[in-house]
Structure 1
Amino acid sequence: MTTVGFLYPGYSAEDDYPRLESLLGGDIRLPLVHTDIGEDAHRADALLEMGSAARLAAGAAELRKHGAEAVVWACTSASFVFGWEGAGQQVRELAATAGAPASSTSFAFARAARAIGAERVAVAATYPEDVAAYFAAFLKAAGIEVVSTRGSGIITAAEVGTWGENEVLHLARTGDHPDAQAVLLPDTALHTAAHLPALESAIGKPVLTANQVTAWEGLRLTGRTVGAPRLGQLFAAR
């Protein structure tokens, strides 16, 4: 049995994780602990507080009870907003508190893009444009070329969590770019685990989504490689 623990901010699309667990097979557990988000706002100051060491430490202590072999901060915006170096410090502190290897969704996107051979990507974000720009800058720091960035102007994770398949498909289609080798949807508040086959079929190229890459990153930290065709081309990559 492999156990990967996740710290998830608030309540929006946390039900993606039981779905991911079921699609990954019976010997993988993905326990999730909710962290206090403070103000629900896709705004830099609120995101810096959401991803603060104190908030993550409280959740990490709870995850230790689950025997997690690795821990991932399941939030993109409240990791990339710290910048490449700051996000690195964030996960180092999380690893020390959790007593296990740690990462975050932002680093998961960078590593997942490399795993599928995507050097040029399009970002299709739910966030306001200024917050989406932080993510593009983070990817550029990882050596990934961002050929286009689209923000949707949504302020709260609560609103993002209400989106269904039609909205998710529209986001991916309008955020795609002909030069992009993959499309990235960076919000863990967005339900995507059930839509990955439809997304990749509609776009005709790999689509990386926040909860998908977060699960993949956690498994990577444990050394597990799992084939799961219903979770997109990322889970077919070796």
Structure 2
Amino acid sequence: MTTVGFLYPGHSAEDDYPRIEMLLSRDVRLQVVHTDIGEDAHRVDALLEMGAAERLAAGVEEVRLAGAESVVWACTSGSFVYGWDGAHEQTRALATAAGLPASSTSFAFAHAVRALGASRVAVAATYPADVTAYFGVFLKAAGIEVVADRASGVVTAAEVGTWERDQVIALARAGDHPDAEAVLLPDTALHTAGYLPELEEAVGKPVLTANQVTVWEGLRLAERKVWAPALGTLFASRV
């Protein structure tokens, strides 16, 4: 049994994780531990507080007790707002607190883009424009070119969590660009696990979504390879 722990802020689209677990090998367990979201706002000061070390550390004991082999901070905006160096320090602190290999959704996106062999991406974000721009800066630091970005201006994770299939597919289409080799949907508050094949069909290229890459990253850290093509191109090879 491979168990991966996820620190997920609040309650929005955490049901993506049991849905993903059902599509993985029977001996993979995804353990979600909720952290205190504080103020639910896609605003830089609120996101910095959401990702503070003490908030993440509060959830590590439950992750350890679950027998996790790795832990991922399942929040994109609450990691990339710290910048490349700050996000590294955030995951180092998490790894120290948990005594486990650790990462975050922001780094998961960077690693997943590289795993696909891509270098140019389009970002289709639910966030306001200023927060979306922080993600672009983070990706640039990872050596990834953002050829287009779309900001939807949604302020709260609670609202994002209510988006349904047609809205998610429309977001991916609206954010795509002909020069992009992949489309990135960066919000872990957005339900995407049930729509990944449709998303890729809609844009005709790989689509990386926040909860999808977060699970992939946790498995990568645990050195567990899983084939699950229903979860998109990222899971369609045993790498």
Q: What TM-score, normalized to structure 1?
A: 0.99
2:172 alignment partner in structure 1: 172
In 2, the alpha carbon distance for the partners of 1:222 and 1:37 equals 26
In 2, the alpha carbon distance for the partners of 1:200 and 1:165 equals 13
Shift, 1:62, TM fit: 1.8
Shift, 1:183, TM fit: 0.1
- Over residues 68-109 of structure 1, what are the superposed CA-to-partner deviations in whole Å (9 max), with x where a residue is unaligned? 100000000000000000000000000011110000000000
Shift, 1:118, TM fit: 1.1
In 2, the alpha carbon distance for the partners of 1:127 and 1:36 equals 20
1:83 alignment partner in structure 2: 83
In 2, the alpha carbon distance for the partners of 1:218 and 1:86 equals 20
Counting matched residue pairs gives 238
In 1, the alpha carbon distance for the partners of 2:235 and 2:85 equals 28
In 2, the alpha carbon distance for the partners of 1:212 and 1:146 equals 20
Instruction: Map 1:114-153 to 2 at 5 A.
Output: 114-153=114-153
In 1, the alpha carbon distance for the partners of 2:150 and 2:124 equals 5
Shift, 1:61, TM fit: 1.9
Q: Return 5+ residue gaps in structure 1 as ranges.
A: none
2:105 alignment partner in structure 1: 105
Q: Return 5+ residue gaps in structure 2 as ranges.
A: none
2:183 alignment partner in structure 1: 183
Q: Which amino acid aligns with 2:84?
A: W
| C-alpha RMSD over aligned residues | 0.5
Q: Which amino acid aligns with 2:152?
A: S
Q: Which amino acid aligns with 2:189?
A: A
Shift, 1:209, TM fit: 0.1
1:215 alignment partner in structure 2: 215
Shift, 1:205, TM fit: 0.1
In 1, the alpha carbon distance for the partners of 2:27 and 2:190 equals 26
Sequence identity (%) = 74
In 2, the alpha carbon distance for the partners of 1:136 and 1:36 equals 26
Shift, 1:210, TM fit: 0.1
Deviation beyond 6 Å, 4+ runs, structure 1: none
